[in-house]
Amino acid sequence: MSLINGIGAWYFKNRTKNIFDAVQNPLPLQENTLHKLINTAKETYFGKLFQFNQIKNYESFSKLVPISSYEEFYPMIDKLLKGEENVVWPGEIQWFAKSSGTTNNVSKFIPVSFETMEQCHFEGGKDALAIHCYQQPNTKIFDGKGLLIGGSHKANPENKKSNYGDLSALLMNEMPFWASLIKTPNLSIALIEDWEEKIEKMAINTMNENVTSISGVPTWTMAVLKKVLTLSNKSNIKSVWPNLELFVHGGINFTPYKDAFYDLIGTDKINFIETYNASEGFFGLQLVQGENMNLMPQYGIYYEFRNTKTGEICNLSKIETQVQYEVIISTASGLWRYCIGDTLIFTQKIPFKFIITGRTKSCINAFGEELMVHNADTALEKTCKKHQVNLQEYTAAPIFSHNETSLGTHEWIIAFDKLPVNEEQFKIDFDNALKALNSDYAAKRAHNLAMDTPVIHLTSKKVFYNWLAKKEKLGGQNKIPRLSENRVFIKDILQYL
């Protein structure tokens, strides 16, 4: 073990006490976060508009400050994009994370302050490394390089002093000096906008490096790893990077892809750490292998939650387990009581552990079936394992009845590396897996009384890749819309079958 690795491992292992202390004592941290956010922003335009100087506690905060969707908050963001200062946070916002816009096909521009980068995103990244060092006492991760797979950014045409782009690109551009020394590839390659050119150059540039860790969205990471195998003429990634020991992933549910990663890498002797790092902030981190992620209360984000059934809103002190909530945040980037559009269920309190169930606009409830993304992910994972196939991507939407006698149902497009040997049996097993996981779906499907047999297209073509390429959304944090209440996306994607 080198001296550099020894020092790095020692430093990061010593972070773990603070991490575990924070998740065991979240409520005082959250109270302090709210007071700090309010006091810092009380002289801003937003702070004066909503009387931040009158806010003494959560109750007054919740009465004086309205809850906002992106569309409702956009007038403030528009001011920021035009370079106005002291609007929602002191000073000028110089970075904006441009979201993929998969739920409504319209990109969003999320303000990212330097405080959020330093106190939230970078702290979350360091804590992920700390957890790895804690779990792997003999780690040699700092003897090699970390492969970072992200997007690109560009100058804001409305204000040349600011930039927008994929969150990963913004973070790479502002990365601390020490982190830049242990990452690969260099920025000139990592920030290439054309995805096809980027993965080619990334593979060439990194396949002879000593890569010990990888960070990225699973789907795009797989594309890079496959290109590395093609160019290196190797059968698995361990043959290219024998010292690879960690994959930090987020953005989508990893469960359906885990077996595919084991096949690509060539071993199951690798540490996987899941993160919940969105454009708006770093929210969650998997602290224990095999367990759900922990909500991280110490990154300068104040959390509220809206019960998706009753509409009741509460802070972290009042949440209940096994209830689905929409996430509402206030941050050091000046997002105030902002609905991020994600839904989750807490499985444990103190420490708060959760599963992401989807997005408020990513579900299907056309016939009372209340099908959520986590139902689909789990059903696909079970069915793919049974049929020994690896999932690439999927999407689904309802088919509505066309007359008084016909039934509606769901239409699916599911892509694999290779097709199941028995495609019809796969469709049956997948439908049955959904029934087993979701009682509402099972009730509507029972005897085809309310929903007909689903229409399922299985393909091994690059359907989703080609669709994203056409939309100029390859790479970065761009994601496929999983479940939709309308047929806008699926009608478009069907053209590529």
**469 and 403 co-located in one domain:** yes
Q: Determine the residue type at 491.
A: K
- For the chain, give the mean pLDDT: 91
3 state DSSP class of 447: helix
Domain containing 456 equals 363-494
For residue 152, the model assigns a pLDDT of 84
**44 and 189 co-located in one domain:** yes
**346 and 385 co-located in one domain:** no
Any idea what the CATH number is for the domain that residue 466 is in?
3.30.300
List the one residue out of 167, 118, 168, 162 whose CA is nearest residue 146.
Answer: 168
**16 and 4 co-located in one domain:** yes
Q: Tell me, what DSSP letter sits at residue 143? A: G
**175 and 102 co-located in one domain:** yes
The residue whose two tokens read 């206030």 is 330
**315 and 398 co-located in one domain:** no
**107 and 9 co-located in one domain:** yes
Q: Tell me, what DSSP letter sits at residue 103? A: T
pLDDT tens sequence across 138-195: 999 999 999 998 888 889 998 888 999 889 889 998 988 888 888 999 988 988 888 8
Q: Long-range pairs for 438-441 at CB < 8 Å and ≥24 separation?
A: 438/369, 438/370, 438/371, 438/372, 438/375, 440/368, 440/369, 440/370, 440/371, 441/369, 441/370, 441/371, 441/375
Domain boundary among 361, 387, 419: 361
**312 and 348 co-located in one domain:** yes
Give the chain's domain count: 2
Region 15-30 average pLDDT: 96
Q: Which residues, 6+ apart, have CB-to-CB distance to 66 below 8 Å?
A: 50, 72, 337
Residues of the chain with pLDDT > 70, as a percent, come to 96
SS3 content of the chain, % helix, strand, coil (to 5): 40, 20, 35
**414 and 291 co-located in one domain:** no
Residue 488 has pLDDT above 80, yes or no: yes
Q: How confident is the model at residue 103 (pLDDT cuts 50, 70, 90)?
A: very low
Domain boundary among 361, 384, 419: 361
Region 101-125 average pLDDT: 84
Pairing outcome for strands 338-348 and 353-359: antiparallel
Domain boundary among 361, 396, 416: 361
**286 and 400 co-located in one domain:** no
**347 and 377 co-located in one domain:** no
pLDDT tens sequence across 314-325: 999 999 999 999
Residue 102 has pLDDT above 50, yes or no: no
Exposed/middle/buried for residue 331 (C-beta within 10 Å: 0-12, 13-18, 19+): buried
Residues of the chain with pLDDT > 90, as a percent, come to 66
**368 and 426 co-located in one domain:** yes
For residue 359, the model assigns a pLDDT of 74
Any idea what the CATH number is for the domain that residue 300 is in?
3.40.50.12780
For residue 476, the model assigns a pLDDT of 64
